[in-house]
């Protein structure tokens, strides 16, 4: 700690942003969408799009970063989504005088604009950011307009069904946000964020569509699993075979691809409606 | 699992004393070797990491009066050095606590978890992660990210004290009651944790998973200052404990006849294990196998005398944890593997190997 005080000098890098570490899938997508990917030297494990990003060194899971891991790629700027951590790691990075730009989370159009603006500003390309933000905003408005259904579809978002227990999206979750942009309503309410839900609550919710992430590991399982599930299998969605899968980062990232996610989800919802 | 019956075998104390004759020099060599090993591993540990920063290069620069880059100073003094200190402290705490518990319960499978520290600390951490948001803002801000460690430590202590009260009647602590009540309390803590896990949201679940796997990545000088005295206190109690644990191998009544203050010694053992393990779990999360593997390995080499076993366990535990930490932070660099995974991957098969090789000798 004595050392930290001794080190704190006014030596802030003037030309920061030539070696950037990106933490968070949406942040990485924005950097690519701005065409500034050449400045990236590393990313976190949630940054899986575009595919080229996965070729960069992986500094680990965004909520469990190690300070030396991040410092080892000699960054001169860190662009991090809000939930990055732990705090101890961020403190050390701050002591290392690496500029840390926090990109706030958010699940709507204005939030996406803010993310793009903050990233573009940090990288010193505000005009590019303005252009991208305007483009995303316009296509998002168009996609949302096109998604508007006659009657909203009741959608249950299942994050995982490990061991048969359903983890689903509730109020204020990123999944609920994308569902409503795409012209659906969240079939579940009564709790915030993502949580394990009881079998009864799922039956009570009577979803017309079951939405899941398309990715491996414990979030996987295929549609057959859903149909075979003792409770999910009894829902209207299962009876009509309306089980949808979309890539998790596309669906929940709330980055520049959100208009694409809205269009994909809304057309799937329309098609799935019995 | 109990001590061999006194009637049909030579007295354990006599065997111990007899064995001591040939094992003392061996133990001295082991202590020297382990000290050297710990020194070598410590230097290595300061030199190894995700970044290319090298200790010798930095020292050479410093000797030549050159300025060491800020990043290198930070990595050496604010990342690797506190991490080295925490690694040593936690490794020593877990290994010594394991040895003390095995001696106290006269059960080779005992570990600090038996007195509820593990389950209680886990419950404390889960409470802090899942319900921390409900605390008054002033308290949450005051504790900051110390909230989880503090809650873990408190959880471990509360459970241990509860267990101690349950097992103590009229000033006498029953080790058997403590063992059984420990199982019950651990189950209860597990059940409450289960409820909280059910309430947790997605990101909290991820935090829980990472906490449970253990990591030294969050090592800071602040944590060294907090964990150091607690673990040091427990290590300082070992000379007294060692003598008493040796006598206790004969059984409680014979130990008392030998002049050992058995009740006081049991209290000291439980409290020091709770202090050491509680502090270790609080700063590093759940790290398994060190407490079981290290004492067993040492008993095979230097015998069961606790006077030799306890200090050597501290040395070997520290070394092993530092090695596991080096693996955890280099194997998938710049990312990091949780250290609990590394100790389990190394410890599990290794423990089986010890068991298979020494099935006869373990007298299980």
C-beta of residue A88 within 8 angstroms of C-beta of residue B147: no
Q: List the single best residue of B215, B333, B338, B340 to mutate versus A (max A Cβ within 10 A).
A: B333
Q: What is the pLDDT of residue A1?
A: 36
ipTM over 0.95: no
Model pTM? 0.84
Q: How far is B52 from chain A (nearest CA, A)?
A: 7
Q: List the single best residue of A67, A90, A93, A199 to mutate versus B (max B Cβ within 10 A).
A: A67
- Tell me what the pLDDT averaged over chain B comes to: 85
Contacts of B49 in chain A (CB under 8 A): 68, 72
Contact check, Cβ <8 Å, A71/B52: no
- CA-nearest of B242, B350, B239 to B306 is B242
Contact check, Cβ <8 Å, B75/A68: yes
Q: How far is B20 from chain A (nearest CA, A)?
A: 46
Specify which residues B57 forms β-bridges with: none
Least CA distance to A192: which residue of chain B? B201
Q: What is the pLDDT of residue B16?
A: 54
Q: Calculate mean pLDDT across residues B290-314.
A: 91
Contact check, Cβ <8 Å, A66/B202: no
Contacts of B208 in chain A (CB under 8 A): none
Q: How far is B291 from chain A (nearest CA, A)?
A: 25
Q: String of b and e for B188-223 (b: at least 16 CB within 10 Å)? A: ebeeebeebeeebbbebbbbbebbebbbbbbbbbeb
Least CA distance to B73: which residue of chain A? A3
Tokens of A199: 């079998």
Residues of chain A with pLDDT > 90, as a percent, come to: 69
- Tell me what the pLDDT averaged over chain A comes to: 88
Which residues fall within 8 angstroms of residue B321, CB to CB, at 6 or more apart?
A: B87, B88, B90, B91, B94, B287, B290, B339, B343
Specify which residues A185 forms β-bridges with: A154
Look at B12 and B355; give whichever has higher pLDDT.
B355
Q: Calculate mean pLDDT across residues B144-171.
A: 87
With bands split at pLDDT 50, 70 and 90, how would you rate the model's confidence at B4? very low
With bands split at pLDDT 50, 70 and 90, how would you rate the model's confidence at B13? low
Which residues fall within 8 angstroms of residue A88, CB to CB, at 6 or more apart?
A: A67, B145, B217, B218, B219, B220
Contact check, Cβ <8 Å, B70/A67: no
pLDDT in tens, B19-37: 555 667 777 888 999 999 9
First to last CA, chain A: 64
In the predicted structure, residue B5 carries a pLDDT above the cut 50: no
Q: List the single best residue of A45, A69, A166, A193 to mutate versus B (max B Cβ within 10 A).
A: A69
C-beta of residue B148 within 8 angstroms of C-beta of residue A86: no
How far apart (Å, rounded) are the C-alpha atoms in residues A129 and A132? Answer: 5
User: pLDDT 10s per residue in chain A (274 long)?
Assistant: 333 333 333 333 346 789 999 999 999 999 999 999 999 999 999 999 999 999 999 999 999 999 999 999 999 999 999 989 888 899 899 999 999 999 999 999 999 999 999 999 999 999 999 999 999 999 999 999 999 888 899 999 999 888 888 889 999 999 999 999 999 999 998 888 888 888 999 999 999 999 999 864 444 445 778 888 999 999 999 988 899 999 999 999 999 999 999 999 999 998 887 5
Residues of chain B with pLDDT > 70, as a percent, come to: 92
Q: How far is B93 from chain A (nearest CA, A)?
A: 23
């Amino acid at each position: 700690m004595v050392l930290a005080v001794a080190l704190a000098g006014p030596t802030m890098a003037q030309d920061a942003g030539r070696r950037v570490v990106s933490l968070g899938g949406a942040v990485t997508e924005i950097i690519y969408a701005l065409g500034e990917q050449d400045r990236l030297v590393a990313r976190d494990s949630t940054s899986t799009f575009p595919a080229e990003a996965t070729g960069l060194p992986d500094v680990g899971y965004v909520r469990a970063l190690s300070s030396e891991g991040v410092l080892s790629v000699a960054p001169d700027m860190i662009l991090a989504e809000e939930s990055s951590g732990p705090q101890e790691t961020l403190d050390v990075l701050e002591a290392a005088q690496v500029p840390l730009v926090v990109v706030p989370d958010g699940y709507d159009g204005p939030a996406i604009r803010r993310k793009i603006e903050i990233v573009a500003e940090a990288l010193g390309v505000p005009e590019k950011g303005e252009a991208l933000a305007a483009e995303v905003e316009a296509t998002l408005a168009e996609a949302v307009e096109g998604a508007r259904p006659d009657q909203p579809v009741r959608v249950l978002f299942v994050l995982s069904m490990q061991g048969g227990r359903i983890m689903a999206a509730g109020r204020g979750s990123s999944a609920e946000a994308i569902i409503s942009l795409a012209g659906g309503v969240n079939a579940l309410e009564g709790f915030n964020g993502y949580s394990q839900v009881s079998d009864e609550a799922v039956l009570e919710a009577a979803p017309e569509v079951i939405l899941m992430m398309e990715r491996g590991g414990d979030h996987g399982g295929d549609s057959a699993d859903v149909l075979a599930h003792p409770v999910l299998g009894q829902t209207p969605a299962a009876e009509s075979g309306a089980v949808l899968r979309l890539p998790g980062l596309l669906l929940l990232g709330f980055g520049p691809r959100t208009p694409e996610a809205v269009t994909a989800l809304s057309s799937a919802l329309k098609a799935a409606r019995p | 699992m109990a001590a061999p019956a006194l009637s049909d075998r030579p007295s354990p104390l006599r065997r111990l004393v007899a064995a001591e004759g040939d094992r003392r020099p061996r133990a001295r060599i082991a202590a020297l070797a382990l000290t050297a090993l710990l020194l070598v591993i410590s230097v290595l540990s300061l030199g190894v990491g995700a970044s290319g920063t090298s200790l010798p290069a930095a020292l050479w620069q410093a000797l030549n009066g050159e300025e060491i880059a800020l990043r290198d100073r930070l990595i050496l003094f604010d990342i690797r050095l506190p991490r080295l200190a925490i690694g040593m402290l936690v490794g020593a705490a877990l290994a010594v606590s394991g040895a003390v518990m095995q001696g106290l319960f006269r059960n080779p499978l005992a570990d600090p978890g038996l007195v509820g520290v593990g389950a209680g600390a886990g419950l404390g951490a889960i409470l802090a992660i899942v319900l921390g948001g409900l605390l008054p803002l002033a308290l949450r801000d005051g504790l900051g990210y110390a909230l989880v460690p503090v809650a873990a430590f408190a959880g471990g202590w509360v459970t241990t004290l509860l267990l101690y009260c349950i097992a103590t009647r009229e000033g006498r602590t029953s080790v058997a009651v403590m063992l059984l009540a420990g199982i019950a309390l651990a189950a209860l803590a597990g059940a409450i944790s289960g409820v909280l896990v059910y309430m947790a949201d997605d990101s909290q679940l991820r935090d829980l998973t990472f906490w449970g796997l253990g990591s030294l990545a969050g090592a800071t000088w602040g944590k060294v200052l907090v964990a150091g005295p607690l673990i040091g206190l427990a290590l300082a109690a070992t000379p007294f404990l060692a003598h008493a644990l040796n006598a206790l191998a004969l059984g409680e009544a014979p130990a008392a006849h030998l002049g050992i203050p058995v009740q006081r010694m049991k209290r000291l053992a439980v409290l020091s294990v709770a202090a050491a393990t509680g502090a270790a779990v609080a700063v590093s999360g759940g790290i398994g196998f060190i407490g079981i593997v290290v004492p067993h390995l040492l008993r095979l080499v230097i015998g069961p005398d606790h006077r030799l076993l306890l200090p050597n366990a501290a040395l070997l535990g520290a070394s092993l944890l530092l090695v596991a930490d080096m693996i955890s932070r280099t194997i998938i660099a710049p990312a990091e593997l949780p250290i609990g995974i590394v100790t389990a991957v190394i410890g599990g098969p290794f423990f089986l190997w010890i068991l298979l090789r020494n099935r006869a000798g373990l007298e299980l």
